[in-house]
Structure 1
Amino acid sequence: MNLVLFDPNELAAPLPRTDRRAVHVLQVLRRQVGDAFDAGLVNGPRGKATVTDITADHLALTFVATTPPPVAPPITLLVGLPRPQTARDVLRDATTVGVGAIHFVRTEKGESSYAQSSLWSSGEWRRHVLAGAEQAFVTQVPEVTHGRTIAEVLKETCPAPAAGVSAGAAVRLTLDNYEAARPLAAAAPRRGSPVVLAIGSERGWSAAERVLLRDHGFTFVHLGERVLRTETAVIAALSLLLLH
């Protein structure tokens, strides 16, 4: 944990000593009353928090902002809903690398039971994006949705262009091991351009989903001849996009 994150309303009350952040401050950072550490407000400024009181049950903190909120990276990630452990890895690591939004979508070849995982129903997913931001030393966390179909998400985020009309400002790319003719590196947009990157479920896209993606202006790209795990493909693709 390189940065300790708080929701803005949390600093108005003492932090219980059982909270993971309190444990980190006291046992890992070994802070005492009067000591400061790097902290930030979720999707807000970064700065310094100072321990003002420690009791058997809690510690009290003050926070002074020093750095304005960051700008969200202009990358929207669409991922076919994977098994829960893979989703945890994607939530954490994609946040660390940097994205503006992650939409986990239901696909024809995906396992429908994954949407019923306690990862989603309990709100556990948010803990993983916060861990990714804390690792990256940033306060920005992506928007996250889950459980909708790919058609529903595409309709909202990537409306299909009318005949003879450009798909819009965002570059739309999808990974596909079967029908992609170009490597991702050759299709990466210029720096600062918004990107929508779609990655299929663990069994890939169906034929109907490929048609749907093409109808919404997506270019099919690949990461080479090797077949990668979903979590590996996400990080490899994001790294290439951010490099460009």
Structure 2
Amino acid sequence: MHRFFLAPECFGPGSVTFPTPQARQLRQVLRLQAGDQVIVLDNSGWEYRVELEEMGKAAVRGIIRERRPSRGEPGLKITLFQALLKGDRLEFVLHKGTELGIAAFVPLRSQRCIAQGPTPAKYGRWRRIIAEAAEQSGRGRLPALEPLQDFPQACRSAPGLALIPWEGERGMSLRQALEKCPGSKQVSLFIGPEGGFTSAEIELARSCGLLSVSLGERILRAETAGLVAATVILYHYGELG
């Protein structure tokens, strides 16, 4: 069934009203008709099986037939602090990270970043990418997209177990770090730009309590490293596989 995240004001007693963009998609793109059913999500962990009733041009109305908890959210919350990347590489990270189950994204400005800070229009596009990926992958909540942060600020505010993969790390692997923290419910993951983090940034991160870890002998691209690390973390804590 097709899935849609809707704002709280779209929900009424026993019914849902789809605003114009979603109404147009239902009628003109998906070509659904009265009597067809879709899944609607309220972004609080609940989903609703809705039967379409009124297919108007400006709005579509449906009747709620069932309310149930969404099963698509991991119990572990990963916040990905991703340094700005060139081109559309960060969009790839947002899309695939949402599919995996990342709970929040924080764009990060570090010393070797080449890409400029995102404009409001870019942020709007990023939110649409996250929403589409969340609907497609069966998520029950939209991952948060936080404002741009500078690296020192992010290091000081990172919640939970804070990890920073670094190609120069020789003393601790990601697996070893996770084994030391078996009960973690929240993980902050820091990923650098195309040129990686500087040694000074790694030292700053360590002074703030972050653990530098190795992802193995191979060097991963900036848009790949966070997704690989998040996959390993989710698998380790029983959220994948």
TM-score under structure 1 length normalisation: 0.81
TM-superposition CA deviations, 1:57-89 (whole Å, max 9, x none): 442223355223556632221111223511211
Determine whether 1:15 maps to 2:49. no
Where does residue 89 of structure 1 map in the other structure? 92
Q: Secondary structure at the match of 1:113?
A: coil
Q: Secondary structure at the match of 2:118?
A: helix
**Which residue, out of 79, 83, 96, partners 1:80?**
83
- C-alpha distance in 2, partners of 1:64/1:71? 26
Identity percentage of aligned residues = 25
- C-alpha distance in 1, partners of 2:205/2:85? 19
TM-superposition CA deviations, 1:93-116 (whole Å, max 9, x none): 112111222111110110252434
Determine whether 1:222 maps to 2:214. yes
| AA partner of residue 73 (structure 1) | L
Q: Secondary structure at the match of 1:46?
A: strand
TM-superposition CA deviations, 1:197-218 (whole Å, max 9, x none): 1111121111221111111122
User: How far is 1:7 from its partner?
Assistant: 1.6
TM-superposition CA deviations, 1:138-197 (whole Å, max 9, x none): 221222213220111222235xxxxxxxxxxx3221111123433322322426532111
**Which residue, out of 230, 241, 244, partners 2:233?**
241
Where does residue 171 of structure 2 map in the other structure? 181
Verify the 8 A CA contact 1:40 1:65 in the aligned structure 2: no
CA-based RMSD of the aligned residues comes to 2.6
User: How far is 1:131 from its partner?
Assistant: 1.6
Verify the 8 A CA contact 2:78 2:186 in the aligned structure 1: yes
Where does residue 167 of structure 1 map in the other structure? none
Verify the 8 A CA contact 1:2 1:136 in the aligned structure 2: no
* Residues 1:213 and 1:2: Cα distance change in structure 2 (over 3 Å): farther
Where does residue 162 of structure 1 map in the other structure? none
Q: Secondary structure at the match of 2:107?
A: strand
| AA partner of residue 234 (structure 2) | L
Q: Secondary structure at the match of 1:182?
A: coil
Where does residue 161 of structure 1 map in the other structure? none
- C-alpha distance in 2, partners of 1:112/1:206? 17
* Residues 1:65 and 1:235: Cα distance change in structure 2 (over 3 Å): farther
TM-superposition CA deviations, 1:9-35 (whole Å, max 9, x none): 23464532xx2x445534665431122
Determine whether 1:131 maps to 2:132. yes
- Structure 2 residue ranges without an equivalent (≥5): 237-241
- Structure 1 residue ranges without an equivalent (≥5): 159-169
TM-score under structure 2 length normalisation: 0.82
Verify the 8 A CA contact 2:37 2:50 in the aligned structure 1: yes
Q: How many residues align?
A: 228
Verify the 8 A CA contact 2:74 2:101 in the aligned structure 1: no
Where does residue 103 of structure 2 map in the other structure? 100
Where does residue 115 of structure 1 map in the other structure? 118
